[in-house]
Structure 1
Amino acid sequence: MVNVNLAFRRRIGFPEHEPITFAKLPDILYRTAQALPFENLSILSGRTKEISDQNLTQKIIQQKEGGLCYELNAILYLFLLQNGFKVVLICGVVYSEPEQDWSRTERTHAAILLFHQGKEYLLDTGFGGNLPLMPVPLTGETVFSDNGEFKVKQENSPYGNYIFEVKLKYKHEHWKTGYAFDTKHQITNVSDLNSMQETTKHHPASAFNKKPLVTRLTSQGSITLTGSSLTEWVKGIEIKKPITEDTFQEALKTYFNIETGAQN
């Protein structure tokens, strides 16, 4: 396994020699959400590589890019594992609000299951702007963070035995279904996520193989770049600016510190 500990700390701006305890996880998740963009640029530009410890480290840490759920949560999983946490990766199926149905790409969402003092928690740094910035217990208990409220309820579905729900600050008045996941289907080797990447790259229903999407949380909200707009949410206020082919790369560098990208 590649040693990602010190490099990951530097990437998210966390002290290199400070012990990582359970109480520190909200800080880790907060820093990760701001430092690592959720983005699909390697898929659109045809630059995807096999998912492995080495390739994840090269892309996200050395090249300072971001990634999709199976990349962002995989690198966080490796970091937590190397800091002594008992964690596994799990598969989920995202719920589509517009279609009022589960995604036709099926099990293409990866998240982390953490075991601590006899309890299980969901961690996720790869769900776009819908990130719980703290561990979410699998008890139905609501947790609160800067960007909203989150909970996991036990409910059987064709795609698992739990459902993750979201109520974002400034955006949601009611709870929204995020995804279903299966705690019985556990992944301990990041290479097992390659099937997710292949489906995301090629499936006609994939939301990530058509147009660019780059987003990350900020200290005051979030920022999202597409092929046609740059949208900032600042304390609940939306600021939207048009983006052209000429200004896309400039915005990518300015707001996400990414110098390689694609615009379709």
Structure 2
Amino acid sequence: MGELNIAFRKRIGFFEHEPITFANLEMVLSRTAQALPFENLSILSGKTKEISEKNLIRKIILHNEGGLCYELNGLLYLFLIENGFKAVLVRGVVYSEPDQDWSRTGQTHAAVLLFHQGEKYLLDTGFGGNLPLVPVPLTGEAVSSPNGTFRIKREKTPYGDYLLEMKIKHKHTYWKKGYTFDSKLEITNVSELNPMQETIVQHPDSAFNKKPLVTRLTEQGNITLTSTSLTEWIDGKENKQKISKETFGQSLKKYFNLEI
């Protein structure tokens, strides 16, 4: 068993010697979502590193940090490959609900495409609070998890050939667009994610190079920390409190085990 395999299992609290099968991927995804926060702190502190297997392991596993989609899904991809799965990374473009249009940053979302018994499935542990927590088939079939209901439509857009739609539990009553992705543009080396990181760091319309955002799922819902607020969703009920500069660091440590 390789270094990444053992370290990743320990980081998310998964059994060291249990085989990773398609049947228990739901447990892997759930534990990953609760253990690895979606966060942009390294960007704001100017401490981003080149995307590589070594740097992803150092940042997320050894230093107990989180990351953005290309980091979290990049690491998940490497873990799946090490456990014998056939998978690739794909590029996507997130849909902006306020703008009613695709993100101006372009193909800056990374997700995992898994091949199993002749079918394709989307896996994503880097979409903030919108994580499916289960493999989503590219057949159009809707699948559900404690976080909501998800489906993938075959739909041609300017940026891809498939569209992820979602109804997040306690939040959405109708299908919302998540992101479009191109299943044909496969990534097999995490170093190919570096242009994506560069765009997120530098683009004027990037949502992640201005203010801190830290979020992760919990057993009861999710928790999100910004520079001004801490919001907890517990069994569908929202609890929001103001955060100051002084209490930001305390909340970061208490709820995410992260240091400024």
TM-score band by shorter chain is: over 0.9
How many equivalent residue pairs?
Answer: 259
Instruction: Say yes or no: does 1:63 pair with 2:58.
Output: no
Q: How does 1:1-264 map to 2 (within 5 A)?
A: 3-259=3-259, 261=260
Q: Look up the equivalent residue of 2:116 and give its one-letter code.
A: H
Q: Look up the equivalent residue of 1:52 and give its one-letter code.
A: S
CA RMSD in angstroms, aligned pairs only: 0.7
Q: Look up the equivalent residue of 1:74 and give its one-letter code.
A: G
Distance 2:92 2:256 in 1: 27
Per-residue CA deviation, residues 49-97 of structure 1 (Å, 9 max, x unaligned), is 0000000000000000000000000000000000000000000000000
**How far does residue 241 in structure 1 lie from its aligned partner after superposition?**
0.9
Q: Secondary structure at the match of 2:240?
A: strand
TM-score by length of 2: 0.99
**How far does residue 37 in structure 1 lie from its aligned partner after superposition?**
0.1
Distance 2:160 2:197 in 1: 20
**How far does residue 171 in structure 1 lie from its aligned partner after superposition?**
0.2
Q: Secondary structure at the match of 1:140?
A: coil
TM-score by length of 1: 0.97
**How far does residue 187 in structure 1 lie from its aligned partner after superposition?**
0.2
**How far does residue 166 in structure 1 lie from its aligned partner after superposition?**
0.8
Deviation >2 Å, runs of 4+:
none
* Identity between Structure 1 and Structure 2 (%): 69
Distance 1:234 1:99 in 2: 29
Distance 2:59 2:123 in 1: 21
Q: Secondary structure at the match of 1:156?
A: strand
**How far does residue 3 in structure 1 lie from its aligned partner after superposition?**
3.4
Distance 1:22 1:99 in 2: 37
**How far does residue 141 in structure 1 lie from its aligned partner after superposition?**
0.3
Q: Secondary structure at the match of 1:4?
A: helix
Q: Secondary structure at the match of 1:7?
A: helix
Q: Any unmatched runs of 5+ in structure 1?
A: none
Q: Any unmatched runs of 5+ in structure 2?
A: none
